[in-house]
Amino acid sequence: MMILVFFVIMIVLMYFTMWRPQKKQQEQRQKMLSELKVGDPIVTIGGLHGVIDTINDEDKTMVLDCDGIYLTFSRSAIRAANPKTVAPVASTKPTTEKSQSDVTSEAKASEVEKDQTSDTETSQSN
């Protein structure tokens, strides 16, 4: 009797530690694959990045545009769908930051000014 209880407890533990998380992961992947549409950027299981050009639901395949090269992949070859990246909006406010060349030219000007004042002080003391 004790062995039977132990066996049942082991099966329940295996269900909650192995099968249930795997099922959730599988459902999330199916949801991601079913929500894909033309124009979505994706990554294949081989690491190839591309944009979906066409989707064939009958064959469960997709045609990807990879920088002008069109490749056909099975839906199961899709690892992840990348969120569309939004380009940053250009600001119309004037920037007050100094460029590296401005900082360098100001430093050189201050050094020249220091040299001139030290030369003037030296010539006056003679």
Check residue 93 and give its pLDDT. 45
Q: How far apart (Å, rounded) are the C-alpha atoms in residues 59 and 43?
A: 20
pLDDT by residue for the chain (126 residues), tens digit each? Answer: 889 999 999 998 888 888 888 899 999 999 999 899 999 999 999 999 999 999 999 999 999 999 899 999 999 999 998 766 433 333 444 445 455 555 555 655 666 566 665 555 555 555
Indicate yes or no: pTM above 0.75: no
Q: How far apart (Å, rounded) are the C-alpha atoms in residues 125 and 113?
A: 19
Q: How far apart (Å, rounded) are the C-alpha atoms in residues 30 and 20?
A: 15
Give the model confidence (pLDDT) of 56-69 as tens digits. 999 999 999 998 99
Give the model confidence (pLDDT) of 76-95 as tens digits. 999 998 766 433 333 444 44
Query: Alpha carbon of 26 to those of 20, 60, 83: distances in Å?
Result: 10, 17, 20
Partners of 74 in the β-ladder: 61
